[in-house]
Amino acid sequence: MIDIKLLHHLEGYLTEKRLKRFHNVLDERTKHFTVATEDVYQLHNTSAVIRSCDVFGIQEVNIIEERNSKRIDREIAMGAQKWVDLNRFNNVKDCIASLKKGGYQIVATSPHVDNCELHDFDVSKRSCFFFGTETDGLSQEVMSKADAFLKIPMVGFTESLNISVSAAIILQHVTTKLKQTNINWKLTEEEQLVKRLDWCTKTIKSYDEIIERFYELNT
């Protein structure tokens, strides 16, 4: 449970503009959809995907680093890693198990699978969109365990898009479509409180000293 008194105390250190921004952004956040990247070895692509998730209101990103383990490129992500929750996994199996436990269907994105085109995608189901490596795409393990397959319609000579571009196109479409439904897609009240506290800790300078003084005065 969140210490509401502490949260309100910390929010007192924020400007009115910043506090309003927190509330407005949180009101558009969702965990109805999430994203997973599988061993993407070009660092800027993973970072750009995280940035797109922040832009389109996706709160969680799952990063599988079975073969390629690199830190997030802060310059490309433009600080988005502060606002989006990153779940890191050492293998595909653990990632899929965690997502399934959370009630997500596994959606493999691939231009080479003739299943569902983007405009026909059913947004009512909690879904995790998987994006693979730049050269090989998704692993056979993801493809074999996928509950659905999704592709972006393309009519040119090029057969595929950069994964960060694909993620942006898909997320813009599904989040827009989701918000036109009656589905309860927003974060719960408790989830919003957790993020408000988390964002305060990442924003306020001298946070540790402020916390220490707060508990000295309230114990």
CATH classification of the domain holding 93 = 3.40.1280.10
* Angle between helix 189-201 and 16-26 (nearest 10): 140
In terms of residue numbers, what domain contains 61? Answer: 28-185
pTM recorded for the entire structure = 0.90
CA distance 175 to 59: 12
- The type of residue at 113 is V
pLDDT band at 71 (very low <50, low <70, confident <90, very high): low
DSSP letter at 124 equals T
The 3-state DSSP class for residue 125 equals: coil
User: What are the pLDDT digits (tens) for 145-203?
Assistant: 999 999 888 888 777 788 889 999 999 999 999 999 999 999 999 999 999 999 999 89
Q: What total number of domains does the chain contain?
A: 1
Tell whether 145 is covered by a domain: yes
CA distance 119 to 208: 48
User: What are the pLDDT digits (tens) for 97-115?
Assistant: 999 999 999 999 987 666 7
